[in-house]
A and B are shown apart, each in its own frame.
Chain A
Amino acid sequence: METAELLQYVLAGLKSGSIYALVALGFTVVYSSTGIINFAQGEFFMLGGMLSVFFHGAGMPLPLAGLAGVLATAGVAIAFERVALRPRRDAGPLVLVIITIGASMVIKALARHAFGPDELGLPEFTPGPSLSIAGAAVERQSLWLWGLTLVAVLSLTWLYRKTKLGRAMRACSISHDASRLMGIDTASVVMVSFGIAAALGALGGLAVTPLTQTAWDVGGTAGLKGFAAAILGGLGNPVASVVGGLALGLLESLSVAFISSTYKDAISLGVLLLVLFVRPQGLMGLVRREKV
């Protein structure tokens, strides 16, 4: 195989991978502050694209429509946390996870009725022919995807390390009770983390719509891939989510190149299981020891 061709497979993998990474980051943010998996994360990805299309169709210029779409999705997530999750927050993680599954169905059905059954699209952020790197083609939209992923992971890392809110979020992940005793408003922290998670998913949905179009039913696959990426990298760490996403994308692309496109999902999810057998905490996850 020529180098240019191999590079093309790698670039294709990194492109899908960065989409998975943005969804995975959302899983990580919610997990960090609540300890639960939010199965409505894929629907935030869908809403980001659909709402941006809606605002764009209503006459807003693309950057403004995108921003409105992302913010509106965050609003939906905050409302969802406030109305559906908070009243049951003492019911235990299993109940909360099931509520998120229910919410994903409701959001999906509402989107189907509000936006119709057909796929919708957006123009590319910066239209034009693809660029060439050492003989391999790179879409301009891919550069946007990579850029947004990079900005997202850097800001999250900064948020967690350097800000009071970030430290409060990390404290919540260890113990809600202890955090509350230390004077942290845990309810607000959880609400904000849902907003951030939804905005990240929505950003992915927005950035991918010019490439793939979007529809009311895209959330399921996006959620599944993003979840796999988050688990592969290791839940709870933004950098790990991005590594997980990119690794999953590369695995899929290289499966197509060297084995068969028919089995690409089976192969990549098989590798995911294998990794979890050897390292249950994911590629970069830390083992959290219970201290007695």
Chain B
Amino acid sequence: MAGALAAIVVSTAPVAGCAVSGEAEEGSAQPYRIGVVLSLTGTYAGLGGPEKRAIELEVKRINGAGGIGGRPIEVVFEDDGTDAAKAQAATVRLIDEEQVIAVIGASGTGQTMAMRTDLERAGIPQISMAGGSIITDRLSEWAFQTPWPNRIVIPFVLRMMAEDGHTKVGLISDTGGYGVDGRDYVLRSAAAAGVEIVADETFNPGDTDMTSQLTKIRSAEPDAMLLWAAGKEAATIVKNARQLNMSQQVYGGSGIARREFIEGSGEAAEGVMIGTGKILVAESYGEGTAEHEVAASFIERYTEAYGSAPDIFAGHAYDAFGLIVDALSRVEGDADGQTLREALEQTEGWIGVGGTFTYSATDHNGLTEDDLVLYVIEDGTWRLVD
């Protein structure tokens, strides 16, 4: 018993000593600590991997060039396992134990929202790599976002459909976060785009056959079909549609701008139109522009380091990290959560991979329809629609 007590006393002593020496060392050579919460396991594991690689690549580059005002950047990664509760716990750990001044994350919308309260309370800015509209629709002083949310992408895609003369549209969406959010915006913005939604079908992630939903859409006789889904079911849908001999033009968004969609659909993906950001094809940034230079440099460095081209998720992570670096370099003196947040909000015309960001007190997404382009899938790859 006495031995156990002594052990407790001994074990607390170095902790107290550490805290004191930490304060004593506070100086300008200290690194800026940034926390990153992403999904390396669980459903969104496919997102977290490229995101982590992009950030690691950029940290090395910035620190190699001397850091920010002589201070290097130190990044602490946390895996949330695609679980909102774990994302929140990781955030608390980053705030309390790692003393970070900003947090990038998460990969998913649900996880992003779960992190918010603690970050607001601690006064630490957050930049999310998730595309849910809710992240910036429900505006928080402290929360920013890098992907194009459905709020921007859907009106763009609907406008493209209307311009092609497809005004009677059959919608099929998943009941996961991305599909529900998307369906909401489609129904809300269809009329303004001059498009009529003649069929509105849903399916659950994990469903193995969507022939019934497609049969119902077919009987509504639409000019085109809008597919708003993020998972592997998207490939099943275009294959089912082909087997039903449906000839309607299929449109989709960022959720199907994935290599796996093309691989899984094979022939059936040919001709599918996708409205999303420019990273899929470097030339879409326009030769000789500043945007092209930024993106081409990132694509080249990433490909060289990892042996494969970056996808849109790597791009969102590049942007989140780059926005923080840009804001830090604009802060006078030593940055803290408050001054960093203010600098982030004043971001104007920062050129990233996802687009040109201009944040304001009312817009924490910072992107517009100008940052989107339309692709068509041809010969198993993306081609820019002129």
Contacts and interface: CB of A to CB of B under 8 A. Distances in A.
Interface of A: 1, 5, 8-9, 11-13, 15-16, 19, 112, 117-119, 121, 129-130, 137, 139, 208, 211-213, 215, 217-218, 220-222, 252-253, 256-257, 261-262, 264-265
A264 B239 CA distance: 21
B76 interface: no
Contact of B208 (A16, A119, A137, A217): A16
Nearest to A10: B212
Nearest to A113: B41
Given A218-B206, A265-B204, 14 more contacts: A8-B211, A11-B211, A12-B211, A13-B212, A119-B235, A121-B264, A130-B243, A137-B243, A215-B232, A222-B206, A252-B212, A253-B212, A257-B215, A261-B212
B250 to A, nearest CB: 17
23 contacts: A8-B211, A8-B244, A12-B209, A12-B212, A13-B212, A112-B41, A118-B260, A121-B235, A121-B264, A129-B243, A130-B245, A137-B243, A137-B244, A213-B236, A215-B232, A252-B212, A253-B212, A256-B201, A257-B212, A257-B216, A261-B201, A261-B202, A261-B216
The interface residues of chain A, by DSSP majority, are classed as: helix
A5 B260 contact: no
B213 interface: yes
B156 to A, nearest CB: 26
B206 A137 contact: no
A145 to B, nearest CB: 10
Interface residues of B, number: 32
Contacts of B244: 8, 130, 137
Contacts, number: 88
Contact of B46 (A118, A130, A253): A118
Contacts of B209: 12, 15-16, 19, 211-212
B263 interface: yes
B281 to A, nearest CB: 21
Interface string B197-225: 00001111011110111011001000000
A118 B43 CA distance: 9
A235 to B, nearest CB: 23
Contacts of A208: 208
A164 B65 CA distance: 76
Nearest to A8: B215
A70 B114 CA distance: 41
Nearest to B259: A118
A235 B208 CA distance: 24
Nearest to B172: A261
A111 B215 CA distance: 35
Contacts of A262: 175, 202
